[in-house]
Amino acid sequence: LGERLGYSGIKLSLETNLVTNKSYLAMYARYIQAMQRMAHVKTGRKEVRIPLVIMTSGDTDAPTRKLLEDNDNFGFEAGQISIVCQDKVAALKDSMAGLSLGDSRWDVETKPHGHGDVHYLLLREGHIDRWEKE
């Protein structure tokens, strides 16, 4: 979520500017689709599809899926967008790697793993193998 930015929604729905009011994801989708059109022209292959993978967390997964649904997947074809959800790991409270505890000493707080998880998630969800075959 974009709390640090003073925004209560997911970062993908942030407006990129005040003129078009297009979200970050809308602008990114247009860029990928332009690159895909260029690939069609350069290769002569209309079947070329550039995949988009979005990594979410437990907090952002449902709003991300709703943003895609509400905007008709921003023009992407069915199956062209994949979503991988980060696992949660123990939260650290300080630079000495102390565990952040919840209400009791037996309750360890968790947080999304972060960007370091993306390569593992792509492999675990089978995207790497699928892309190699395509």
Give residue 110's pLDDT.
72
Give residue 52's pLDDT.
94
Q: Which two tokens stand for residue 71?
A: 């905007």
Burial of 11 (0-12, 13-18, 19+ CB in 10 A): middle
Other beta carbons less than 10 A from residue 35's beta carbon: 12
**pTM here?**
0.79
pLDDT in 10s for each residue of the chain, 134 residues:
556 677 788 989 988 888 988 999 999 999 999 999 999 999 999 999 999 999 998 889 999 999 999 999 999 998 899 999 987 777 888 888 888 888 888 888 877 667 777 888 888 888 889 888 88
Give residue 2's pLDDT.
59
Distances (CA, A) of 114 to 10, 55, 120, 132: 15, 9, 11, 25
Output the DSSP codes for 2-69.
Answer: -GGGT-SS-GGGSBS-TTT--BHHHHHHHHHHHHHHHHHHHH--TT----EEEEE-TTTHHHHHHHHH
CA distance 31 to 42: 17
